Structure 1
């Protein structure tokens, strides 16, 4: 074994271990901020929000938004925080301290109730720790790119206990390759990260599958859901693109802007306690069939809008779980409508996750990863992966056809 392969192999182990540490650190910080914001000791965020007073629901996210805005204002005045994916792909040095501080602010804001995903923070922190742990080794630029992308995917895997989903995120979304060297590294690092984080996450699926009575006809129904997922996924992307500022905000106005966004979601949470946070509460209620049709419709409308408001205010966060939550609310609307007007009920949990997989496939342009990621989040029976794949690939196929038609018309 030559030196390059030896150091690459050691790098895989180091990256997997430190990504697990990053997952543990961001998870503990998130839970601490959630408990502080909503003043509860045990249970989920949804239970904490539900048990909090209306004043605390409204004021807590506002204070958290103001503090996060203050942190970003102080950080961005001094340094630029680059995008992680572009920095890795272009083989540029990682600015470790800015990325770490930015990750901490993301977790703090999401923990205080912001409608953003928390998955960006562990990806950034894991990549920083992976870069720090392998910086003195004589890695080629390509090997370094693979290891840092694997670190980001393993950070995602650690916080959600999704080893395959984390590996595929690194391979298909960050590296865009099926090269055996990258696939093997991604699988090992994500598995190690999940194992390291297991004392905190317990390696359990984030969502509880209710084990409903299902029919294989769900696979055919997934084809009918694909156009809905396609439309909602495109609309979600369009709303987020319009909301993102052309330039990263650096003025003191970040503080009142993000505080106002926090107040908005705080007021909305008085009536819909599922809204605060990254979207896990919406997914949980969808799987429990705990929403009314009216509540599902309101959450479906409000989740992307409030997420866009936070982006417009200058906040930074992930889009995976907000997109998942929006798709899940769409599925709840479809299932609850069918169950209201027909005598042949369908599983709200299964339809919700099927739509979530379809929407995620559109927002991330990765249908196979979307289906597997959604499956790992709840871990239903193996065959339920098939309708997830059908919905995701069919929705993605519609997107490809739409883009080809638009290209042909442009010519």
Structure 2
């Protein structure tokens, strides 16, 4: 598995670089400039800034329609779903069509990250490799995870964070059986990417200053601010998607409308084009006026919500880093206005802000901390980064705003369900029963119930409905057949009483109740209020208990 992880790392790097080159070629061939998207937008006339994103959205939407027709309803096209919910098989034609749509959206100025399609293509290459080798499902899933980690590593120059992104967000586990191959793939991808001509990291990080102990408190406050902002961002994404869906427009027109919004905003602020790499690098190395930063944040927010909400294919990972940097820098400028003697420059708050916003939005603080550390290679950043990221994570979690990734939300809801099931007791599974008789029930009454219900036991209760035991069918049958029906004349339920079926109490946990069923080997068991108060509440069926137990173990 480790050897094939090396191959997956190389294939993931090749797929990522191919997408990057195609993006550069498309801008150069169609728009005449192969530089950054912001520089490209600034070079275009105002009318073209509006028209290009709208036209790109129309074409991208048409490609998405094609992708839907190529796909099958039961197929998991997204790599996260293929790893967690599927069998690791990623459809080729549908993925290529979606990647082409993403390529057009990004090249035409859509305010979305390119890393989404890069990782998807890298995962596709790993999936094809595993299918060619006829890997079993579990190994195929791990190999696809290796490809995804390689793609993210090649996109951000962060092998450790890339590996932990897949482990923490996608797999939800850092078990060495799966993390080991993923780490190998990430390392190979990073080495291969650095060997390519013209390679340079996406972010040029300045040297992080030394932060005094007292100043860490300010970074905690930054974490609170960015946690609240992250929650608003996640809710905004959800509302934007709902808003565009309510328009009932065809998909191409929806994406064209989103592109038109981006184009209108870029008339005044061309910085909203693309994923924001160049803007972040500029803010980290030069002083921007706070008013301009504030306007850029507002403009980029609307542009991103319009692009993502319209249904464009791409990543929200890079925009999250953008917002964290902008808001962190604004916070740092405010701190220097109130406390000029602060040791950390505003850009330091911007760097920490990138990690804090990402930790809250992805609900993966460990990955976010590692990513910023790898980008800066500075130990000085760790204390403020950890404090801000953990606080932002818990702020977003406490607001129940979800996550940028549906699979994380799915896993979170499943964890809530597990906790609910663990906290539940037998009372939630109790069903009423009609096979109950008083102690004074005669032979005719008991026989009638046995004939009406296909059971082997009748439950016997006293006048206060307290469980006394059971009447087994075999004893009643024996009394009627051995010496004739006359032998049972005058006898009542208490004469046939057996205590071979111990009841379940309403506060008994699932494991203990399941053990009772294993010992009894029946389909149902009586449930009483408690040992000291054996009031009969009903019965629990083995099927319902097993279904609950399976849901708990998923």
TM-score bracket relative to the smaller structure: 0.7 to 0.9
Give the secondary-structure state (helix, strand or coil) at the position aligned to 1:317.
coil
Give the secondary-structure state (helix, strand or coil) at the position aligned to 1:135.
helix
Distance 1:37 1:260, change over 3 A: farther
2:245 & 2:199 partners in 1: Cα distance?
A: 36
Using the TM superposition, give the Cα deviation of residue 290 of structure 1 relative to its aligned residue in structure 2, in angstroms: 4.2
RMSD between aligned alpha carbons?
Answer: 2.7
Over 6 Å off, 4+ runs: 246-249
Give the secondary-structure state (helix, strand or coil) at the position aligned to 2:272.
coil
Q: How does 1:75-90 map to 2 (within 5 A)?
A: 75-79=67-71, 82-90=77-85
Equivalent residue for 2:33? 40
Distance 1:283 1:252, change over 3 A: same
Which is worse superposed, 168-177 or 201-210? 201-210
Which is worse superposed, 336-345 or 88-97? 336-345
2:244 & 2:183 partners in 1: Cα distance?
A: 36
1:102 matches 2:98? yes
1:153 matches 2:149? yes
Using the TM superposition, give the Cα deviation of residue 38 of structure 1 relative to its aligned residue in structure 2, in angstroms: 4.8
Using the TM superposition, give the Cα deviation of residue 201 of structure 1 relative to its aligned residue in structure 2, in angstroms: 7.1
5+ residue gaps in structure 2? 401-415, 424-554
Equivalent residue for 1:163? 159
Q: How does 1:277-356 map to 2 (within 5 A)?
A: 277-340=274-337, 342-344=339-341, 346-356=344-354
Deviation string 1:159-188 (CA, Å, 9 cap, x unpaired) is 222211211111111111111122221111
Is 1:292–1:336's contact at 8 Å kept on the other side of the alignment?
A: no
Distance 1:357 1:131, change over 3 A: same
Give the secondary-structure state (helix, strand or coil) at the position aligned to 2:77.
coil
Query: Which has the larger strand fraction?
Result: 2
Is 1:57–1:270's contact at 8 Å kept on the other side of the alignment?
A: yes
Distance 1:386 1:166, change over 3 A: same
Give the secondary-structure state (helix, strand or coil) at the position aligned to 1:177.
coil
Is 1:37–1:112's contact at 8 Å kept on the other side of the alignment?
A: no
1:264 & 1:226 partners in 2: Cα distance?
A: 31
TM-score, L = length of structure 2: 0.66
2:399 & 2:64 partners in 1: Cα distance?
A: 38
Q: How does 1:349-364 map to 2 (within 5 A)?
A: 349-364=347-362
1:99 & 1:383 partners in 2: Cα distance?
A: 41
Using the TM superposition, give the Cα deviation of residue 228 of structure 1 relative to its aligned residue in structure 2, in angstroms: 0.4
Using the TM superposition, give the Cα deviation of residue 98 of structure 1 relative to its aligned residue in structure 2, in angstroms: 0.5
1:371 matches 2:369? yes
Equivalent residue for 2:21? 28
Q: How does 1:177-192 map to 2 (within 5 A)?
A: 177-192=173-188
Deviation string 1:243-274 (CA, Å, 9 cap, x unpaired) is 2259989x982223222322322232232222
Deviation string 1:368-397 (CA, Å, 9 cap, x unpaired) is 101222333x42523213322221112223
